[in-house]
Amino acid sequence: MINEEISKEIVQGTKEGITMAIQFSKEYGQIQDYFSEKFKDSNFSLSKLMPEKNEIQLKDLYKKGQLKEIDVSKKDLAEFKKELNRNGVKFSLMEDKATKDYVAFFQADNVKIVEVALRKAIEKTNTKERGKESIKKQIDKFKNLAKENPLKDIAKAKDKNIDLDR
């Protein structure tokens, strides 16, 4: 009885959410038109408010000026892209068929930023690979530390009125 009521409420909420999403997507075009009319002179675009991806095509990047390249391993690629997007660096990726790794192209003036981003990406992937130490190992480690601790023996001896200083 109660489960049926809860499931009906969930279905109703889901329907309302879907209809709101559809309505928003329909109105998004109208909102874009409204703002573009309102701010014709200021080059305002609603898409500028959305987070942008900084990966662009190589030919477009080449048109902008001198390029530099850096090799990126496949395992570091996702974190590297996140770091470059976070720092606002325009870049282009190309897969090296021989090594199955990637080559990242970017503007020459962004060299330092890209080096720092690559270092951070490698560091993050290495920490993810190492993972966390298991809880059983941590418990065993602390048990061994507690056994080796002489203060515990002294406290027990004081409770039993035994003199350890012989």
Q: Can you say how many angstroms the Cα of residue 80 is from the centroid of all Cα atoms in its chain?
A: 10
**pLDDT tens track for 26-82:** 667 666 666 666 666 665 554 555 555 667 777 777 777 788 888 888 888 888 888
* Residue of higher predicted confidence among 23 and 141: 141
Judge residue 120's burial from the number of C-beta atoms within 10 Å of its C-beta, 0-12 exposed, 13-18 middle, 19 or more buried: middle
pLDDT given for residue 4 in this prediction: 80
In the predicted structure, residue 122 carries a pLDDT above the cut 80? yes
Residue 83 neighbours by CB distance under 10 Å? 20
Judge residue 72's burial from the number of C-beta atoms within 10 Å of its C-beta, 0-12 exposed, 13-18 middle, 19 or more buried: buried
pLDDT given for residue 42 in this prediction: 60
Global pTM reads: 0.46
The encoded tokens of residue 41 equal 């002179």
